[in-house]
Amino acid sequence: MSTNVTRDTFDQVMVPNYAPAGFIPVKAAGSRVWDQQGREFIDFAGGIAVNSLGHCHPELVATLTEQANKVWHLSNVFTNEPALELATLLTETTFAERVFLCNSGAEANEAAFKLARKYAADHYGADKHEIISCTNSFHGRTVFTVNVGGQPKYTEGFGPNPAGITHVPFNDIDALKAAISDKTCAVVIEPVQGEGGVLPATQAYLDAARELCNQHNALLVFDEVQTGVGRTGSLYAYQEYNVTPDILSSAKGLGGGFPVGAILTTSEIAKSFGVGTHGTTYGGNPLASAVAKKVIEIVSRPEVLAGVRAKHQRFVDGLNAINAKYNVFKEIRGMGLLIGAVVSDEFAGRAREFLKAAEAHQLMVLVAGLSVVRFAPSLVIEDKDIDEGLARFDAAIAELVAANRT
Ligand SMILES: *Cc1c(COP(=O)(O)O)cnc(C)c1O
């Protein structure tokens, strides 16, 4: 068996559904990453808002190692201490009274949408099954979740599509008002649209969504897969807006890099997931649960959440300073450490070129859609790493601009 794999190996052995960067990271610590050639990168991508505490955080390594020496997996035929401790902590730190554990964001949303339908069927009959979601939203890649998502390019070719899903423009109260009815079982919203371009919901929109759901006995579902676990400066973004959903999905940052997902809900709604109605073999396994519990503990520390707000400002100030030099962005937006830089019309549809330029300067960034450069670094990224990363970003943009404006 060959161990000298390279980036070319990807094209030879992997299904071609991804287009990974040209280098292969082999080692990482905090917000620094080293590739096969020993080149050091600064990580502003954070595993797509997953590595909430950076890479190989010592407390997470210790927790994972300790649990690895106790018990890895039991299945849900048996419960386990880490899962119960994680769920207890989530009920203590959020609106939730009940928790369902799974392994990814798509699975969390699949469970959330199924629960919303089941709850409506149990209480109001099968006619109340319509799900309202937002244009440009992203909720995962299973057939159900990808159809609740509002990006038609992701559903093309996978039909027939599940029925009973409508999309309305994000942040448009009148459109939601016009679409909602007594047939609506759930309204699904990302408090900040992540994949759709790092676009925060307005306070008025979430307030109105809550009110309309109450009027129509529909459940308000917040997809906090990307915004959760400290990303916006509160443990969950709903706390930032002070609008409480009925069901909340969490994943990505929850495991800090270990796969895990969860839905949070009330005892009343949870009753609709009675024994045998839903399940997952790996969900709530001891390894993932132990790590997630430690992540929640650390992120909940006041200094970590305060740090997210301070670092947000440092990022935004730095990006504005870069933009004052090169005039390549028309808006810097986002919350906490989920930040989007919308490229100017000159670079419309070409955000990926910024990502490529950053890679050449040993900086990892993300895009969100075609025209937004996205930053989702560790919540505990050190200020010196922010400054060094921004300096590299500055150099990358200087090169990009020079190549485009001469
Ligand atoms: C990433 C993401 C998902 C999907 O999560 P996976 O773990 O990739 O299945 C769902 N919703 C939102 C808002 C996301 O950002």
- Count of H-run helices and E-run strands, the chain: 14, 17
Residues 153 and 168: their CA atoms lie apart, in Å, by: 17
> Average of pLDDT values for 278-285?
98
Residues 6+ away with beta carbon under 8 Å from 133? 139, 148, 149, 150, 165, 166, 167, 168, 187, 188, 189
Q: 130-134 and 184-189 as β-strands: parallel, antiparallel, unpaired? A: parallel
At 345-364, the pLDDT tens digits run 999 999 999 999 999 999 99
Domain with CATH 3.40.640.10 in the chain: 59-299
CATH topology of domain 7-56+302-405: Aspartate Aminotransferase, domain 1 (3.90.1150)
> Quick check: 54 and 47 in contact, CB under 8 A?
no
> Quick check: 379 and 399 in contact, CB under 8 A?
no
> Quick check: 28 and 377 in contact, CB under 8 A?
no
Atom 11 (ligand 1): residue with closest C-alpha? 139
Using the mean position of ligand 1's atoms as its centre, give its distance from the Cα of residue 251 in Å. Answer: 7
* Cβ < 6 A, ligand 1 pocket: 104-106, 109, 138-140, 190, 194-195, 223, 225-226, 251-252
Q: How many CA atoms lie within 13 A of 392 on its CB side?
A: 21
Q: What is the pTM of this model?
A: 0.98
Choice from 192, 249, 250, 252 to test ligand 1 binding pocket (greatest atom count within 8 A of CB): 252
* CATH code given to domain 59-299: 3.40.640.10
Q: Two tokens at 245?
A: 């959903």
* Mean pLDDT, rounded, of the chain: 97
- Confidence (pLDDT) at 406: 75
Could you identify the atom of ligand 1 that is nearest to the CA of residue 141?
9
Whether 2 has a pLDDT exceeding 60, the answer reads no
At 55-110, the pLDDT tens digits run 999 999 999 999 999 999 999 999 999 999 999 999 999 999 999 999 999 999 99
- Confidence (pLDDT) at 1: 47
**SS3 per-residue string spanning 217-254:** CCEEEEECCCCCCCCCCCCCHHHHHCCCCCEEEECHHH
Q: How many CA atoms lie within 13 A of 39 on its CB side?
A: 15
At 134-188, the pLDDT tens digits run 999 999 999 999 999 999 999 999 999 999 999 999 999 999 999 999 999 999 9
Residues 6+ away with beta carbon under 8 Å from 68? 287
Atom 10 (ligand 1): residue with closest C-alpha? 139
At 186-218, the pLDDT tens digits run 999 999 999 999 999 999 999 999 999 999 999
- Confidence (pLDDT) at 303: 97
- CB atoms closer than 10 angstroms to residue 369: 19
Could you identify the atom of ligand 1 that is nearest to the CA of residue 145?
10
Residues 6+ away with beta carbon under 8 Å from 119? 185, 219, 269, 272
Confidence band, pLDDT 50/70/90 cuts, at residue 3: low
Domain with CATH 3.90.1150.10 in the chain: 7-56+302-405
> Quick check: 168 and 134 in contact, CB under 8 A?
yes
